[in-house]
Amino acid sequence: MYAQMVKSEGSSGEETPEEREFQDRIDRGEKIEPKEWMPAGYRKTLIRQISQHAHSEIVGQLPEGNWITRAPTLERKQILLAKVQDEAGHGLYLYSAAETLGISRDEMYEQLHSGKAKYSSIFNYPTLTWADMGAVGWLVDGAAIMNQVPLQRTSYGPYSRAMIRICKEESFHQRQGYHIMMKMARGTEAQREMAQDALNRFWYPALMMFGPSDANSVHSEQSMAWKIKINTNDELRQRFVNETVPQAEFLGLEVPDPDLAWNEEKGGYDFSQPDWDEFFEVLKGNGPCNKERLGARVKAWEDGAWFRDGLTAYAEKASARRAASATAAE
Ligand code: BYC
The answer to whether residue 293 sits within a structural domain is no
Q: For ligand 1, is residue 125 a contact (CB within 6 Å)?
A: no
Give the whole-angstrom CA distance, residue 152 versus residue 165. 9
The answer to whether residue 313 sits within a structural domain is no
The radius of gyration of the chain's CA atoms, rounded to the nearest angstrom, is 22
Residues of the chain with pLDDT below 50 are 1-11
Q: For ligand 1, is residue 76 a contact (CB within 6 Å)?
A: no
Indicate the top mutation candidate among 49, 122, 230 to test ligand 1's pocket, ranked by most ligand atoms within 8 A of CB: 49
- Residue 270 parent element (H or E): strand 268-270
Q: What residue's CA is closest to ligand 1, atom 19?
A: 118
Q: For ligand 1, is residue 152 a contact (CB within 6 Å)?
A: no
The answer to whether residue 4 sits within a structural domain is no
**How many domains are there within the chain?**
1
Q: What residue's CA is closest to ligand 1, atom 33?
A: 53
Q: For ligand 1, is residue 196 a contact (CB within 6 Å)?
A: no
CA of 118 to the centre of ligand 1 (A): 8
Q: Can you list the alpha helix ranges (DSSP code H) found in the chain?
A: 2-5, 17-27, 40-59, 61-65, 74-99, 105-113, 130-135, 141-151, 157-185, 189-208, 220-225, 233-251, 276-281, 290-303, 305-329
The answer to whether residue 102 sits within a structural domain is yes
268-309 per-position pLDDT tens digit:
999 999 999 999 999 999 999 999 999 999 999 999 999 999
Contacts of 12 (CB under 8 A, 6+ apart): none
Q: For ligand 1, is residue 96 a contact (CB within 6 Å)?
A: no
Domain range for 165 is 19-287
The answer to whether residue 1 sits within a structural domain is no
What is the SS3 assignment for 268?
Answer: strand
The CATH number covering residue 182 comes to 1.20.1260.10
pLDDT at 13: 64
The answer to whether residue 304 sits within a structural domain is no
pLDDT at 12: 53
pLDDT at 6: 40
pLDDT at 317: 92
205-240 per-position pLDDT tens digit:
999 999 999 999 999 999 999 999 999 999 999 999
Half-sphere exposure of 150 (CA within 13 A, CB side): 16
